Amino acid sequence: MTKWILRCKECKNEWVLPVSFDLNKMKELYHYCPYCKKNTFHEPIKRLED
């Protein structure tokens, strides 16, 4: 499992998303933001090393 730091483009909060695939090539993704409490666009910031 890989963990990524995502930044919500709406509220600008950062949080960790555990996924089983590489987000390097994605510029943004549409996902539920735990801070906004709705689906928003996010940008992957960096991968966390295990």
| pLDDT tens, position by position, 21-37 | 888 888 999 999 999 99
Q: How many structural domains compose the chain?
A: 1
49 pLDDT above the threshold of 80: no
CATH number, domain with residue 34: 2.20.28
pLDDT: which is higher, 17 or 1: 17
- How many CB atoms lie under 10 A from the CB of residue 6? 21
Question: Which pLDDT does position 35 carry in this prediction?
Answer: 95
**Residue 46: pLDDT above 70?**
yes
Rounded alpha-carbon distances, angstroms, from residue 14 to 7, 8, 44: 4, 6, 9
Quote the domain boundaries for residue 32.
2-48
State the average pLDDT for the chain: 92
Q: Which two tokens stand for residue 16?
A: 């960790």
DSSP class per residue in 11-46: T--EEEEEESS--TT-S-EEEEETTTTEEEEEEEEE
Whole-number Å distance between alpha carbons of 8 and 31: 9
